[in-house]
Amino acid sequence: MRALLGIGTNLGDREENLAGAFSGLEKLPGTRLLAISNIYETEPFDVLSEQEDYLNCCVLIETELEPLELLHRCLELESRLGRVRREYHGARTIDIDLLVYEGAESGTEELKLPHPAILERAFVMVPMSDIFPSHNALGLNFDRAYQTVDKSGVRLYK
């Protein structure tokens, strides 16, 4: 199945953090990268403390892992890449969010699919539109939200 992941980083060497995430995802069992969006720089969103700007992108993968196993593997990868969870939306070396998993929906406390905040966040929708220019991501139509969301704070990186 295919899955769409959102990746963000704002601590340390942000480019190296992204490269580590890409490499780690490629090493997951039965998983391969199909597409990586452009990388965008954005100001922190919904944070409680002052933070550096983020680099954000989306990655489309093909995987044999079931959604919950994929989530657990992404959390393990975050930990290996130095992610420490200290505060709500705190600064992070890496954040890997499972956004959409083809053919799957989930409403559990541990895993919500599609990710409930996709349609509110330009820093997710802009890179998603690089991979899905039709604004239909594995069955999630985000065209209306994309047309109305404020994209002014999402800047193409390099």
pLDDT digits (tens, 9 = 90+) for 5-64: 999 999 999 999 999 999 999 999 999 999 999 999 998 877 666 789 999 999 999 999
User: In the structure encoding, which two tokens stand for residue 25, read together?
Assistant: 């995802």
**Residues 6 or more apart whose Cβ sits within 8 Å of residue 153:** 42, 43, 122, 123
User: In the structure encoding, which two tokens stand for residue 142, read together?
Assistant: 């985000």
Write down the pLDDT at residue 45: 73
Average pLDDT over the chain, rounded to whole? 93
How is 33-89 classified by DSSP, letter by letter? EEEE---EEE---S-SS--PPEEEEEEEEEESS-HHHHHHHHHHHHHHTT----STT
Write down the pLDDT at residue 87: 63
Rounded to 5°, angle at Cα 127 from 39 and 151: 100
Percent of the chain exceeding pLDDT 70 equals 94
User: In the structure encoding, which two tokens stand for residue 41, read together?
Assistant: 């720089």
The mean per-residue pLDDT over the stretch 107-131 comes to 95
Per-residue pLDDT band for 83 (boundaries 50, 70, 90) equals confident
Q: Which domains does the chain have, with CATH numbers?
A: 2-156 (3.30.70.560)
Distance CA 84, CA 91 (A): 9
